[in-house]
Structure 1
Amino acid sequence: MNLLLWLILLVLCWPLALFALLLWPLLWLLSLPFRLIGISVDALFDFLRTLLHLPARLLGSSKH
């Protein structure tokens, strides 16, 4: 889908399409730290949820 949109942009306005093609890897590199922070926060919340549900699991609750 993204390729099709880029090809349409290439036909309609080729300088903008080439600029987007050159800018995309730079934006991807800039977003990497935010992705790593998101993964870390998600793992932290999963750990806290597991820690909070541990007493119920130890007592034999049927719900998980």
Structure 2
Amino acid sequence: MKLILTILLWCILWALCWPLALLVLLVLPFIWLLSIPFKIFAVCLKSLLALLESLLLLPARMLGYRVS
């Protein structure tokens, strides 16, 4: 559904202002490439926070606390 909406919005942009639509087509892959390091950082940060949470909750789990 998101893909169809994106294509529809791009077609509307093409009909209203085709130079801007061409610019979007040319610039979008570069923006995606620039966002890759931030995505990798987000995955690393999530895993670090999950490790920290598991270490902090370890004593409670050893005493029998169960997360429901």
Same fold (TM over 0.5): yes
Query: Pairwise mapping of residues 1-64 of structure 1 onto structure 2 (< 5 A)?
Result: 1-62=5-66, 64=67
Identity %: 49
- What's the TM-score once normalised by structure 2's chain length? 0.87
What are the superposed Cα offsets for residues 12-38 of structure 1, whole Å, 9 maximum, x if unpaired? 000100110111100000000011001
- What's the TM-score once normalised by structure 1's chain length? 0.92
Across the aligned residues of Structure 1 and Structure 2, the Cα RMSD in angstroms comes to: 0.8
Q: Which runs of 4+ in 1 moved over 2 A?
A: none
Residue correspondences, number: 63
* C-alpha distance in 2 between matches for 1:3 and 1:50: 42
Instruction: Give unpaired runs (5+ residues) of structure 1.
Output: none
